[in-house]
Structure 1
Amino acid sequence: MNELSVGALNIASLTVSLVVLIIGLVIWFFVNRASSRTNEQIELLEELLDQQKRQNALLRRLCEANEPEVVKEEVEAVKKEDDEEDDFIRLVAER
């Protein structure tokens, strides 16, 4: 009778081990799958960001090329005024 209970105990522990192993593999599968999907999404977002940066650079060049020269002179004058105002602010002591 002792031999029967020892054999049943071995089979029960083996069954529990197999069930835990199967559950662990299923969990690993879903975690790995989610991780690979996340990596793909990150790659796509980085590619999208790169394309947007290129589009912004092209739009800036296009806008600068189509800008009339009078506007360019006004922009330069405004920049000079801003620089002068910044110089004054730099001289004021902070409290």
Structure 2
Amino acid sequence: MNEVLNSGALTFASLMVSVVVLVVGLVLWFFVNRASSRTNEQIELLESLLDQQKRQNALLRRLCEANEPEKAAEATPAANVREEDDDIIRLVAER
């Protein structure tokens, strides 16, 4: 048993364990780094989408405000229809 310990097999085995641990560590670091960079790209894309949605909402508000006077003139007949619909709904018993 002393011959195995003194022959260098133990130092070779410890060297191999160190190399395996190093390789596993590098592989783990690679995948963590890759996932982190993908996450950063996704965050950038989501932020750009949010910015575009804010612009679209602003444009829609402008369009709605520009078309609002036309809708006010047309809204009065629709209000009468709604009142009639409400009367019919009031007649239906609730469960």
TM, length-normalised to structure 2 = 0.75
* Distance change (3 Å), C-alpha of 1:17 and 1:62: same
What is aligned with 2:82? Answer: 79
Pairwise CA distance, 1:87: 2.7
Structure 1 counterpart SS, 2:16: helix
1:65 matches 2:66: no
TM, length-normalised to structure 1 = 0.75
Structure 2 counterpart SS, 1:9: helix
How is 1:25-64 mapped onto 2 (pairs within 5 angstroms)? 25-64=29-68
Amino acid at match of 1:16: V
Give the fraction of aligned pairs with identical amino acids, expressed as a percent.
15
What count of residue pairs does the alignment treat as equivalent? Answer: 91
Q: Deviations over 1:40-68 (max 9, x none)?
A: 12222222222222222222211113447
* RMSD value, Cα: 2.1
Moved over 4 A (4+): none
Which structure 2 segments of 5+ residues have no match?
Answer: none
Separation of aligned partners in 2, 1:61 and 1:28: 49
